[in-house]
Amino acid sequence: MVGGGGIGGGLLENANPLIYERSGDRPVTEGEEDEQVPDSIDAREIFDLIRSINDPEHPLTLEELNVVEQVRVQVSDPESTVAVAFTPTIPHCSMATLIGLSIKVKLLRSLPQRFKMDVHITPGTHASEHAVNKQLADKERVAAALENTHLLEVVNQCLSARS
């Protein structure tokens, strides 16, 4: 699905990227502390799930690299749908598929099963946008990719809490 090259050594594709600010923790509201009030799953909640994913090559999060943004998250709790668009830092980024896969896996592990999820590249921001989107939308290819030990290792590293 993607090559493992470029990870863990050699030159970085983009050694000095733009850095964006991290948003703070979501403040806990009174409603959230009230046992009775149900809190629906909203865009910020989805964004909180994916913003701390580590970038495969920088010691930075996807949020700090502006790869994911809250405005590019669409969610409908009643209809059980989530759509996340992500923006690679450069149009030829070879990590795009890997980043997409990490986002997808994070959502698969963190959202109720009822959700139908769509992870794709922000239109017009990557050279091989359609190919990547197609790979990410194909359930079987995602499943097959996660059978690959090396790939799973990299994805797990992206999803591990930073030490």
Provide the binding-site residues for another protein, judged by CB under 8 A.
9, 12, 15-19, 21, 28, 32-33, 35, 38-39, 41, 45, 48-49, 58-60, 106, 109-114, 149-150, 152-157, 159-160
- Rounded to whole angstroms, what are the CA distances from 132 to 8, 19, 85? 23, 24, 12
Q: Is 82 helix (H, G, I), strand (E, B) or coil?
A: strand
> Quick one: 41 or 83, whose CB is closer to another protein?
41
Nearest-approach distance from CB 73 to another protein, in angstroms: 15
Q: At its nearest, how many Å lie between another protein and the CB of residue 86? A: 19
Q: What is the CA radius of gyration of the chain?
A: 16
Measured from the CB of residue 18, what is the shortest distance to another protein in angstroms? 5
Of 109 and 139, which has the nearer Cβ to another protein?
109
Q: Which is nearer to another protein, 111 or 136 (CB)?
A: 111
Smallest gap from Cβ 40 to another protein, in A, equals 9
Q: Find the angle CA(33)-CA(40)-CA(85) to the nearest 5 degrees.
A: 125
Closer residue to another protein, CB minimum distance, 140 or 149? 149
* 65: enclosing H helix or E strand: none
* Contact yes or no for 121/85 (Cβ under 8 A): yes
**Cβ count within 10 A of residue 1:** 16
